[in-house]
Structure 1
Amino acid sequence: MMSKNSDFDVVKEIFSWISIIVVAAVIALVLNLFIIANSRVPSASMENTIMTGDRVVGFRLTYLFQEPKRGDVIIFKFPDDESLYYVKRIIGEPGDIVDIKDGKVYLNNSETPLEEDYIKEPMIPEADMHFEVPEGAFFCLGDNRNNSADSRRWVHPYVYKEKIIAKVIFRYFPGFKMIK
Structure 2
Amino acid sequence: MEFDFDRENRGPVVKKIAIKIFIWILQIAAVILFAYLITNYALEKTTVLGNSMEPTLVEQDKIIINKFAYRFARPKRYDVVVFKQTNKEHSYLNIKRIIGLPGETIQISGGSVFINGTVLAEQIPVEAMVNSGLAEEEITLDENEYFVLGDNRNSSEDSRFANIGNILADDIIGKAWIRSNDFAFISNLNVIKEEK
TM-score tier after normalising by the smaller chain length: 0.7 to 0.9
Query: Is the contact made by 1:101 and 1:125 (CA closer than 8 Å) also made in structure 2?
Result: no
- 1:43 pairs with 2:37: no
Give the residue type in structure 1 aligned to 2:95.
Answer: V
Kindly, what percent of the aligned residue pairs are identical?
32
1:62: how far off? 1.1
Query: Is the contact made by 2:82 and 2:93 (CA closer than 8 Å) also made in structure 1?
Result: yes
- 1:70 pairs with 2:55: no
| Structure 1 portions without partners, runs of 5+ | 1-14
Q: Counterpart of 2:124?
A: 118
Q: 1:119 to 1:150 in 2, by over 3 A?
A: farther
1:82: how far off? 5.8
Greater fraction strand: 1
| Structure 2 portions without partners, runs of 5+ | 1-20, 188-196
* RMSD, matched Cα: 2.4
Q: Counterpart of 2:88?
A: 80
More off after superposition, 129-138 vs 65-74: 129-138
Separation (CA, whole Å) in 2 of partners of 1:27 and 1:63: 20
Aligned equivalent of 1:177, options 167, 177, 184: 184
1:85: how far off? 1.2
Separation (CA, whole Å) in 2 of partners of 1:41 and 1:170: 12
Query: Is the contact made by 2:51 and 2:155 (CA closer than 8 Å) also made in structure 1?
Result: yes
Give the residue type in structure 2 aligned to 1:70.
Answer: R
Separation (CA, whole Å) in 1 of partners of 2:131 and 2:121: 17
Q: 1:126 to 1:94 in 2, by over 3 A?
A: closer
1:71: how far off? 0.7
Q: Counterpart of 1:8?
A: none
Q: Counterpart of 1:33?
A: 40
Please list every run of at least 4 consecutive aligned residues from structure 1 whose deviation after the TM superposition is greater than 6 angstroms.
Answer: 19-23
Q: 1:135 to 1:88 in 2, by over 3 A?
A: same
Q: How many residues end up aligned between the 2 structures?
A: 161
1:61: how far off? 1.1
1:144: how far off? 0.4
Aligned equivalent of 1:132, options 137, 140, 149: 140
Q: What is the TM-score normalised by the length of structure 1? A: 0.79
Q: Counterpart of 2:5?
A: none
Q: 1:123 to 1:42 in 2, by over 3 A?
A: same
1:72: how far off? 0.6
More off after superposition, 150-159 vs 100-109: 150-159
Query: Is the contact made by 1:98 and 1:105 (CA closer than 8 Å) also made in structure 2?
Result: yes
- 1:59 pairs with 2:35: no
Give the residue type in structure 1 aligned to 2:44.
Answer: A
1:32: how far off? 1.3
1:24: how far off? 5.7
- Secondary structure at the counterpart of residue 135 of structure 1: coil
Structure of greater Rg? 2
